[in-house]
Structure 1
């Protein structure tokens, strides 16, 4: 079964990756609060930045494409939805952990306590799928970024996609085999420089702003615009998601502030963290969208590359041409490594759990080799086939994250006695957005 340490320490990155120290996992349980929740302290700032850093990752590089491709109205609506959806959904997830009688077991313990072991196993599977599909889309993204960098910036053409795919995936898996400590260290070094780079590029693009998006009329009129908006919700949820760190965050704050103060303190930290990520991400999105046109964004989607790779090829300036694709490569590499660790541990725990159910035991080395071979083959195959990255987010990754983040906590609020005190009007808002996002999966699969 996917344990709490796996969910938090090993697959933190459902967007960016902030390593959580081991001591966080051992300092659990309810104790007399040692800090005053009414005062803001240094540790609160650290957690605010931790939540922020967890959310901001390579997924942000694809949000401008979907957000701006349908014109100005979908972009405005996404802007209005981004903060409340992110804040209320993650608040509900945090409260779900707080409501558990075994806080040290985090969200897994809460699911098992509220709905039983079968539900916990199903949750593990859905959680693995959400991470694994993200790993696959990053396999495609890193291959396309490398191909674009070789072709447009280095002038090297004619290399077969299969060769690029194998070289890139094997290179990443070689880093993975160096050990989890090295991966976590690499990710921690890259998080904040990446965030600073987003701001720098956003500022750099300001002189390129134009009004093309203001006069754009999407194909299909209002219906076409609504469909574009609908398919943007999975990307929005995906880009702002920082659910994997929530369990450890709540456990740590519960230890520091006690039962009576933990709800207020986590609310304050989450509010400022979401506000910070909202400002940074939406500034980057607006700067990218206004420096291009909806036709350019459609071209980026058709080419199946990140917004940074497209900017590098679009603007004839040395700074953007070289800096943007390198940053995209580093960011996607960072996210791939983090998600590989999470997917590996999730699949490993599922295999072991299945073995227990069938009264079979598996050798650790055998499991390791099977998973490595499985990841190598599937990641390479998907990267070579080059399916739509945004299509994967819209139909698989985004809806899976929405189920865990938006719908599951709302079911708990309505059905679990301990959670009923958190019922409010905002619950309906989160449920509606969650259903819209999950429904996008069925629409995408049918089309």
Structure 2
């Protein structure tokens, strides 16, 4: 029997779409476009089955658990026992928390470049205020490669250490103070913001069309370089399309609403979500890649800023100059709050499970919350100040660990737990498993 589409399905499709679309889309063009146009075409072909099949498998992982109130951590404990579930909880935490760190860096750099490139030019260059603000910056030289692979020197303004430390402390502290509000209220506000942000990004993609340059269409990297570019972009692609943080809640909701038809209905909703994401995200990526050459994309990476901030500095348009950083700020903020809730719960859960493993069934939950929150806050402030590469976090930590949970764990479950045998499909399962492995071993390749 074909299940009819209704408003419940539409709400969840939009919610999953909103979960995936966030700050990741602002950094994806910088990574995906370094090889030009044609590698992005192959990425578009590969990412759709990767993202649909993996999220479908993770949804089944939750749907097959006993009862309609057992989330992904309960399901892991049911299938594999308490000790293995602790390991999965740790993996889940380290898939989310590094992304929170990346967002702290991203928001600090967005503010920093906005002050220098948009606000400073508004001031009278002879004024004392101009002299003071410009004096907060130092001009550093970074080496990037142009489209022909030739190294060129680029001057980049960055805040002096003391002032960057103050900025990082203030911004992260504001984020953490917002966390004192009701979780339901914060998530509701983020949900309201997602759709205007998506509309703005879509309009921006269309706005860039007159800026498109088609020279990259005639340039094709050699076969080995072509495949290497696509392969090394997989972690950022997976991250940018990832809506796994909402899959557990989504699957339980569908399970309660549709009962025995939950798996089929979840498949239907996930398929439409994946199609919607593919069209939206990749249109934005193509529009950015066709508007910037590889040298400019490398320049954006060296400055460690989202692509909208780079366009704000490049295009002579007041709307983009001031609207771009604002959209980037809102996108990073909404993504941070959603990921922080997951990271915080993951940290609490790990400590609680460890207490129970050592025989303490009733640990002091308030003390656990205070200690975990304080430690995470200190790490986020220090990371925002140090300014490591945002794409580096996604490539080396976030993307590969998400792939382990999203691609490998459900497939391992399908082939090791008897109740999942009905879902086995050798060809599709092998595809998900292999692409997951390829995403994870990009870290090893980079190290070597």
Matched ranges for 1:353-372 at <5 A: 353-360=353-360, 362-372=363-373
Count of residue correspondences? 408
User: In the alignment, which residue of structure 2 is the partner of 1:333?
Assistant: 333
Aligned to 2:293: 293
How many Å separate the matches in 1 of 2:68 and 2:47? 29
- Distance in 1, matches of 2:350 and 2:203, equals 42
Q: Deviations over 1:9-33 (max 9, x none)?
A: xxxxxxxxxxxxxxxxxxxxxxxxx
2:245·2:342 contact (CA, 8 Å) conserved in 1?
no
1:135–1:339: 8 Å Cα contact kept in structure 2? Answer: yes
Q: What is aligned with 2:378?
A: 377
Per-residue deviation at 1:374? Answer: 1.1
Q: Structure 1: any 5+ residue segments left out of the alignment?
A: 1-35
The residue that corresponds to 2:275 in the other structure is 275
Q: Secondary structure at the match of 1:101?
A: coil
User: Structure 1 residue 153: deviation in Å?
Assistant: 0.9
Matches of 2:201 and 2:436 in 1, distance apart? Answer: 28
> What residue is the counterpart of 2:144 in the other structure?
none
CA distance in 1, matches of 2:218, 2:59: 42
107-116 vs 83-92, which moves further: 107-116
Which of 417, 434, 437 matches 1:435? Answer: 437
Aligned to 2:308: 308
Deviations 1:217-260 (A, max 9, x none): 66xx544433322220000111111112222222222222221x
- Structure-2 separation of matches of 1:104 and 1:37: 26
Q: Contact 2:404–2:440 (CA<8 Å) still a contact in 1?
A: yes
Distance change in 2, residues 1:367/1:100 (3 Å)? closer
Match of 1:141 in 2: 106
Instruction: Name whichever structure is richer in strand by fraction.
Output: 2
Q: Take 1:114 and 1:354, find their aligned partners in 2: how far apart are those partners?
A: 19
**Which of these two proteins has the greater Rg computed from alpha carbons?**
2
Aligned to 2:173: 170
**Structure 2 unpaired stretches of 5+:** 121-132, 137-158
Distance in structure 2 (CA, Å) of the matches to 1:368 and 1:415: 35
Residue number in structure 1 paired with 2:411: 410
Q: How does 1:238-253 map to 2 (within 5 A)?
A: 238-253=239-254
Superposition pairs of residues 62-81 of structure 1, within 5 angstroms: 62-81=27-46
Partner of 1:102: 67
- Look up the match of 2:155: none
| Aligned match of 2:145 | none
Q: Is 1:190 the equivalent of 2:193?
A: yes
The answer to whether the 8 A contact 1:62-1:307 is kept is yes
Q: TM-score, normalised by structure 2?
A: 0.87
The CA deviation at 1:215 is: 4.1
Q: Does structure 2 retain, via aligned residues, the 8 Å contact 1:37–1:265?
A: no
Instruction: Compute the displacement of 1:144 (Å).
Output: 0.7
Q: Summarize the Cα distance change of 1:38–1:338 in structure 2 as closer, same or farther, 3 Å threshold.
A: closer
Residue equivalent to 2:424: 423
Report the Cα distance in structure 2 between the residues aligned to 1:256 and 1:356, rounded to whole angstroms.
Answer: 33
* TM-score of the superposed pair, with normalisation by structure 1: 0.87
Match of 2:205 among 192, 202, 206: 202
- CA deviation string 1:380-422 (max 9, x = no partner): 1111111111111111000010000011111112222111221
> 1:55·1:239 contact (CA, 8 Å) conserved in 2?
yes
The answer to whether the 8 A contact 1:231-1:440 is kept is: yes
Cα offsets for 1:334-390 (capped at 9, x unmatched): 111222222222112222222233345654443333223212211111111111111
CA deviation map 1:302-333 (0-9, x unaligned): 11111111111111111111111110011111
Measured in 2, the distance between the counterparts of 1:138 and 1:351 equals: 24
Task: Confirm whether residue 123 of structure 1 aligns to residue 88 of structure 2.
Answer: yes
Partner SS for 1:69: helix
Kept in 1, the 8 Å contact 2:96–2:343? The answer is yes
Q: Distance in 1 between matches of 2:68 and 2:83?
A: 20
Q: Report if the CA contact (8 A) 1:205-1:287 is conserved.
A: yes
For the structure 1 residues 363 and 284, does the alpha-carbon distance in structure 2 shift closer, same or farther, using more than 3 Å as the test? same
Residue 110 and residue 334 in structure 1: after superposition, are their counterparts in 2 closer, same or farther (change >3 A)?
A: same
Find the aligned partners of 1:152 and 1:216 in 2 and give their Cα distance.
32
